[in-house]
Amino acid sequence: MSKGLARQLRLRLPLLTMLIVVALVSARSAAVEADSREFKGACYCRAQGELMCTANVTARDCDLRSKLALCDEWFWKERLACWNWGYGG
């Protein structure tokens, strides 16, 4: 290798390393930001005839929780709190 080429590589390597680090950090922060933009709501799970609600979860989290809890039926209400009191009638 010539001295000129070796010098160019030496100068460009730190720049390339810095660009890779910045790309990785920005990709990670974009994923976190996308998660924070998801709406949260109430996750209802009906299992063995009992209706249970978990508040403040995303639709993806609700789906996962419902599968793990072996719900017979589940649904998610966007941007709503759990409704766990009577109808007052």
At 62-87, the pLDDT tens digits run 999 988 988 999 999 988 888 866 66
| Burial category of 69 from C-beta neighbours within 10 Å (exposed 0-12, middle 13-18, buried 19 and up) | middle
Residue 43: band (very low, low, confident or very high) from pLDDT cuts 50, 70, 90 = very high
In a domain, 89, yes or no: no
Q: Enter the pTM of the model.
A: 0.53
Q: What digits encode the pLDDT tens for the residues 47-66?
A: 888 888 999 999 999 999 98
Q: Give domain status of residue 86, yes or no.
A: no
**Domain span at residue 52?**
41-78
**Number of domains into which the chain is organized:** 2
Whole-number average pLDDT of the chain = 79
On whether both 54 and 22 belong to a single domain, the answer is: no
Question: What's the angle, vertex CA 37, arms to CA 36 and CA 43, rounded to 5?
Answer: 80
